[in-house]
């Protein structure tokens, strides 16, 4: 069921197909994030229209509200959110990391307080798997500890704990229709990353995930770690870079052998009136767009750009109409979904590596941080 078919390679970049219970995922792929069983401001039909093939939902948030057992009783996450294509759920590890002031980690698991009502809860590897099995996603994650990448004294402890928890997750799993991915940790220490990659790759996971990046380290550090990891990850399994998804990160990540990406950035930017474009990131609140008849991006074929002007979207923003967030989210999500598909076709044609400088020159303007050209 979970065969990963590697179709073409150009350098380290790969084109593949990952088979899941709810359909095939063509890689490289960008997955919109639906934290609360919804991609913010966008309907499932709109996701289909922009050609999304994989959606991520969040274990921690859905466990707290409305509850994984409720979702299971209503037929699982696919039925609950009316999405019949593949779904990926994270382990809850990153949310635990982000709740540093309200959690306590030990070798068995993590005790934390709910951000909703302050109630106390506990996640263990076994509990994370149980919740994800109730949710019923096609791809689930092993429970891991995501440590501060610059805390060199602690990252080895977190890595060793992640390895132990990975083995416990494998023992705890019961469902055979879910692909379980192990997560590589180790901060920005190349030696620890290699050790983690080799350990996780030798366990019987259906896929390999790279965690603990884009959490405070520099772009250069992230790309260096991906360069370090690539030879140590199995070619026969899909590779997922957790929580990373700017246009230039897709370009650089794919060039370094990554297959799957996700990020909240496209919809978050939309809620703050911002849009990706080949001219750089645009703030649609700016008065310069008040009478601009152009679409957000004249090169874009999304629903928003085919039907609405910058002037109209700015009007919606100024008037505080919720449609502004929907139209901007559609555009931003399409930009990344389509960019991954364009790169997929470039790799198949053998022209991706030569086009990396042009792609980065076009899309790198959408980042506030320095980009890296291979």
Q: Active-site residue numbers?
A: 90, 262
Between CA 370 and CA 358 the distance in angstroms is 16
Query: Which tokens in the block code for residue 69?
Result: 């057992």
CA distance to 31, 46, 147, 293, 297, per residue, from 39 (Å): 10, 10, 27, 28, 22
If you ran DSSP here, which 8-state letter would residue 33 be given? B
Cα 265 off chain centre by: 10
Backbone φ, ψ for residue 28 (5° rounding) = -70, 150
Give the residue from 183, 328, 338, 342 showing the smallest Cα distance to 265: 328
- Would residue 95 be called left, alpha or beta, if left means φ above 0 and alpha means ψ between -120 and 50 degrees? alpha
**CA atoms within a 13 Å half-sphere pointing along the CA-CB vector of 295:** 19
How many residues would you count in the chain? 374
DSSP H helices in 152-218: 152-172, 190-201
CA distance to 2, 17, 40, per residue, from 333 (Å): 26, 21, 11
């Amino acid at each position: 069921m979970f065969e990963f078919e590697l179709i073409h390679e150009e350098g380290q970049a790969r084109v593949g197909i990952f088979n899941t219970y709810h359909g095939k995922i063509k890689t490289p792929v960008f997955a919109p994030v639906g934290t609360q069983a919804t991609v913010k401001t966008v309907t499932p039909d709109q996701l289909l229209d922009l050609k999304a093939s994989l959606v991520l939902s969040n274990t921690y948030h859905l466990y707290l509200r409305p509850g994984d057992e409720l979702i299971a009783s209503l037929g699982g996450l696919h039925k609950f959110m009316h999405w019949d294509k593949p779904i990926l759920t994270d382990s809850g590890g990153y949310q635990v990391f982000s709740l540093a002031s309200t959690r306590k980690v030990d070798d068995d698991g993590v005790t934390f307080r709910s951000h909703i009502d302050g109630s106390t809860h506990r996640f263990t590897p076994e509990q994370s798997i149980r919740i994800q099995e109730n949710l019923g996603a096609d791809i689930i994650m092993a429970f891991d500890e995501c440590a501060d990448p610059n805390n060199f004294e602690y990252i080895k402890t977190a890595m060793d704990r992640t390895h132990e928890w990975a083995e416990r997750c494998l023992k705890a799993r019961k469902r055979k229709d879910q692909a379980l991915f192990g997560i590589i940790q180790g901060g920005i220490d190349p030696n620890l990353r290699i050790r983690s990659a080799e350990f996780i790759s030798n366990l019987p996971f259906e896929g390999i995930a790279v965690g603990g990046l884009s959490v405070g380290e520099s772009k250069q550090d992230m790309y260096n770690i991906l360069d370090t990891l690539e030879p140590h990850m199995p070619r026969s399994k899909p590779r997922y870079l957790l929580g990373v998804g700017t246009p230039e990160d897709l370009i650089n990540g794919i060039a370094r052998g990554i297959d799957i990406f996700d990020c909240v950035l496209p919809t978050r930017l939309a809620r703050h009136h911002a849009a990706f474009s080949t001219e750089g990131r645009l703030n649609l609140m700016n008065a310069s767009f008040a009478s601009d008849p152009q679409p957000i991006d004249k090169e874009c074929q999304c629903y928003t750009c085919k039907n609405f002007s910058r002037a109209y979207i700015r009007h919606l923003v100024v008037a505080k109409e919720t449609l502004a967030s929907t139209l901007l989210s559609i555009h931003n999500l399409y930009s990344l979904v389509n960019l991954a598909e364009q790169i997929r076709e470039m790799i198949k044609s053998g022209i991706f590596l030569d086009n990396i400088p042009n792609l980065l020159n076009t899309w790198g303007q959408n980042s506030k941080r320095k980009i890296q050209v291979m």
